[in-house]
Each structure stands twice: as C-alpha cells, then as structure tokens.
Structure 1
Amino acid sequence: MSAAAFAQTPSILPLWPEGVPGARAIGPEKNDATHTANVSEPTVTVVKPAVDRPNGTAVIVAPGGGYVRLSSEREGTQYATWLSTLGVTTFVLKYRMQEFGHPAPLQDVLRAVRLVRSRAAEFKLDPARIGVMGSSAGGHLAASAGTLFDHPAGRTGNALDAVSARPDFLMLMYPVIAMDGPAVHAGSRKALLGANPAPELVRLMSVERQVTARTPPTLLVHTQADQAVPVENSILFYQALTRARVPAEMYLFEQGEHGMGMRDGLANASHWPRRAEEWLRSRGLLTPGTVQAK
C-alpha cells in the first residue's frame, strides 16, 4: 500500500471515557514494534478506508496473543491495512487481558461494537454492517461477541448499554473456541478464567455451546498445521453454526502454522485474504451501503 493511503494519522479512541470498569493499577503498558501487553486503558485505533469511496462497512479487529499479549502488528495493523484497500473502516481493538480476566475482555469488545454503532454517522458507516474479526484468542473474543452480546456480564450500567452490541458478521482466524476437552488451548483458558475456573464459567466461555440462531454469519479460517490451537476449534464452531442454521463458510488449509497472519509462502493458506474478500463481497459488505446521516 502506498504512503498516501495512510496520509491521515489513525485516531485513537478510548473505550471508557467515563472510567474503565473495575480499573486498578497494574503498572505501565508494555509495547514494542509488534506486541502490546499489560493493558489497563482499552482503546480502538481507527484506520480509514484507503479508497476514495468508503463502502460503509466497519470491522473491529481483535488481535490474538493468548489473552497475555496482543499481536498488534501481525493481527491488527496488517489486517487493517488490507481491509482499508477494500473500502472498509477498521477499528483495531486494544483490550484488557490476564491482568483483569473475564469479563473485562468481553466488556471491551462489546463496548467497541456499541461505540462504533453509536458513532456510525460520524464515521460514515452503515450501523447494520459492523463486524468483528479476531485471531487466536482474539478469535475467541470475536466469537464471544457473536454469542454473548446480550449477556449481563458485558454490560456496565452506562447509557451506551442501550445500543445493540450484536456484530453483524464475524471473521475468525484460527480461533480459540473450546475452553475444555481435547481441543482446548490451556494457556488462553488460564489467562482468561484463572487456574481453577468454575465449571459453569468454563461452559459459558466455551463459545461453541453459546451459538444460537442470532449468532451472526461467520467466516472461519484455520489450518491442519496449527499445533497451538487445534483445527477442531473452528470445526466445533462451524458445526454449532450449522445446527443453528447460521450462514457460515469455513476454509481449512493444509499448511500454515499458528499465527500465520497474512504471511506469504504458505501455499494455499497464503491466499485466504482472497477467499475472505470473496465472502465479504458475496454478502454485499463491499458494495456501498446505507450510510447513516450525521
């Protein structure tokens, strides 16, 4: 992408200007060129479309990192750059993780959906075309948004709770889904739920069990070569979507290790952005939408 595409510096919006729920001192945030950790002040970074005519679709991007850190470059900025070329407005989410545990990440992603929807006119968006994309643990968070958008744990008593937090579509990259059983990613479960979570909490956050007919249309991408988060995670979620008659499309590739992002040299897996673009286009999400008047 040319430098002109990012002529405007991305703006950063605080998620909780009224005060972060359950705020506590955890020390300074940790950042390097590729990762972010120890988050206590959640934000979204707005990346505007690089094309002349934005199409009104928005994607909230949740980077992965096992609920321990955020792969903010590979699974955040790179995705935003790609989506901007499609005319999509992207909001890269910086969410709380292991230092807070559940329900802080759920509160953050649902607040992001509510915030974007409530400011659709400002960003020239269609409020009915707001999706969430996530990778690995960020995929678990995105799937949580798509299944637990009405759960009381995602509300904080703020007036913005009245705005719908239901995403209109999901894009899940090698997501963590199960919180128990042979497909579990134990590190993500421990970081999110603690060392000895209650069985009912494990069940709640095993998001394949929370799928209903109201779960939004979903795209899943995973690989057989993923040795960190087994491909069964995506299969479990796809099966649940199919049982609930939710429109879903899934691409399972042979090659591509966990955290592949948009890396080249992984045979067919490197072409997943083309499949994702086709999916977005087939759902009408890349054509000009009904932009809310300001």
Structure 2
Amino acid sequence: MKQTGILLTIMLGLNMTISAQQQTIHLWPGKVPGETAAKHAAMVTPDGSNNVKRLTDVTDPVLEVFPAPTGNSNDVGVIVNPGGGYNILAIDLEGYEIAAWLNKLGYTAFVLQYRVPKKEAGALQDAQRAIRLVRSRAAEWGLQPDKIGMMGFSAGGSLTARAATRYNVNTYTAVDKADSLSARPAFGILVYPAYLDQGANRTLTPELTLTEQTPPMFLFATADDPYGNSALVMAGALRDAKVPVELHFYAKGGHGYGLRSGNPAADAWPALLEQWLKTTVK
C-alpha cells in the first residue's frame, strides 16, 4: 500500500507538471545538423519498467518549457538533461519530475529531448543550441541571460559536463542570431553522472577540458553506484583546475533513482542542491 501511495503521488505530481507546461521549442528550425533521418516526434519505448517512461529515436530535438509559478519565480533557468545511457531518455523520472521540483523552488525548467540513440555528437550540438536559445529568449520567462544553468542525470550528467567544458568548441554552423551567444552554462549539476572517467586508468574523460572559466558544479553520487567513480574523478579535476565544486558522496543509493522517495540518496540530494543553488546562483 505504501508503494502504491508513492506512485500515485508521483503520477499526480507529473500530471500537474504536464498541465503547467506552456511551450515546446524545436531546437532546429531547418535541418538538424548531422541528422540523416526525417524529423518526427520521439518514440516511446515498450519498456515501462519501474514506472518510467522512456523515449528513443529522437530526430527532432525539443525543449519542453516549465515556467516557475507566478508569484514564486526567480530569475534563474535550468535546462534538464534526462539520462538513459545515450540510448533512451528517462523523460519523467529524470525530466518532468525534476522540472516540477525546480518549479516549486522558483526556477524555470527546460527539459531537453536530445538526440538518441548513440548520437553523442548530436547530443552535444543539441545542448549547446538549447543554452543559446534559452539565453536569447530569457526575457520571455523573466530570466537573467547569465543565469541559465544545466542539470543532468547519468548520461545526462555526462552531457551536462560536456556542455560545461566544451562551450568554446563550435560543434555546428550557426543557424540564427541566438548562435552568436555563449553556450557556457552558468552552472552545472551532475546527479549520479556517468562516463566522466573514461581516460587511462579511469581518469578524466579526455574530451572534458577544464579551466578556471569552467562554471561551478554540484555533484552527487554514491559508493554503490557502478558509475560512482565518475563523480569522484570529475570533482578532483575541478578542484585541480580551481573551479568551485561541491561533491556529496553517500554510501548507498545505487543508480537511476531521480528524486522518488524511498531511496536514501533520493531523499538526500534535493535539500543539498537547494542550499547550493541559493548560495551559488545569486
């Protein structure tokens, strides 16, 4: 009965989130760079295990906009990258449910449907384009252009790290005026990130280039997560590069829990992140 109540609460919250959604923004008005398949809506996979909706075959990347409630909004926007091994997107667990939580704190959320499966280069193009588009239209949602950050889970954490460290790399030909703006997120949030330790002897993934201009980051992971080393390696590299970083590394929690209650890690990270955002993004 307790589990049923938790799931019901999640679904009610998700329905409220969907009803609050105001806008879907297609990232690429014309041809999607490097994409050979025709544009179409993302496909829902038949795997609905653990009450997770999974999307794949994304050929027309979009941002789904979830404005903060009137009267409880600040000037900060957060682009949310769901995880899924660069194969699928756990769109509710690590997207819509996260957007609803951010809204309660006054943040406007943008859930990114980036390209999958196995389109890592395209995913980075989508992330860069998303940051620039939100920054170019920040006034529409009452946001400050220099307060657009990015948050990701698992592979979405990898994508967030890549966007935060490769923002000076031009990955596509400019489409419009938005592409003249910086692709640097104001901050990065990595919750149980993956694929950040693919260098020699499980060191930092070579494509992640850190400098003192890399944005501040918050990292959360657990020791029993098979990808837990990613957070440790990334935090150490950020520290060495003199980038402000906060790492929380808990004993148990595993991987892929989002913020659904009943998991010790899921119960812990939201309050820690809430405090970090208050002190970091001013």
Aligned to 1:77: 96
Measured in 2, the distance between the counterparts of 1:58 and 1:27 equals 27
Structure 1 residue runs of 4+, over 4 Å off?
1-7, 181-184
Deviation, structure 1 residue 6 = 6.0
Q: Scaled by the length of structure 2, what TM-score is found?
A: 0.85
What whole-Å deviation, never above 9, does each CA across 1:16-63 have from its counterpart, x for those lacking one?
013211231279632156110010000000011135231010000000
Q: Match for 1:24 among 36, 55, 62?
A: 36
Q: CA RMSD in A?
A: 2.2
Aligned to 1:267: 264
Deviation, structure 1 residue 180 = 3.8
Greater relative contact order (CA < 8 Å, ≥ 6 in sequence): 1
Aligned to 2:56: 37
Query: In 2, are the aligned partners of 1:255 and 1:269 still within 8 Å (CA)?
Result: no
> Which region of structure 1 is more displaced relative to structure 2, 60-69 or 157-166?
157-166
Alignment of 1:84-233 (within 5 A): 84-99=103-118, 101-153=119-171, 155-159=172-176, 160-176=178-194, 177-181=196-200, 183=202, 203-204=206-207, 207=208, 210-227=209-226, 229=227, 231-233=228-230
SS at match of 2:141: coil
Which structure: greater helix fraction?
2
Structure 2 unmatched ranges of 5 or more: 1-12, 46-51
1:279 aligns with 2:282: no
Aligned to 2:255: 258
> Which region of structure 1 is more displaced relative to structure 2, 217-226 or 26-35?
26-35
Query: In 1, are the aligned partners of 2:73 and 2:108 still within 8 Å (CA)?
Result: yes
> Which region of structure 1 is more displaced relative to structure 2, 48-57 or 175-184?
175-184
What whole-Å deviation, never above 9, does each CA across 1:74-121 have from its counterpart, x for those lacking one?
00011101000011000000011235x242111000000000000011
Structure 1 unmatched ranges of 5 or more: 185-201, 286-294
Task: Report the identity percentage.
Answer: 37
Structure 1 residues 244 and 2, CA, compared in 2 at 3 Å: closer, same or farther? closer
Q: Scaled by the length of structure 1, what TM-score is found?
A: 0.82
Q: How many aligned residue pairs are there?
A: 260
What whole-Å deviation, never above 9, does each CA across 1:246-266 have from its counterpart, x for those lacking one?
111011111111101112222
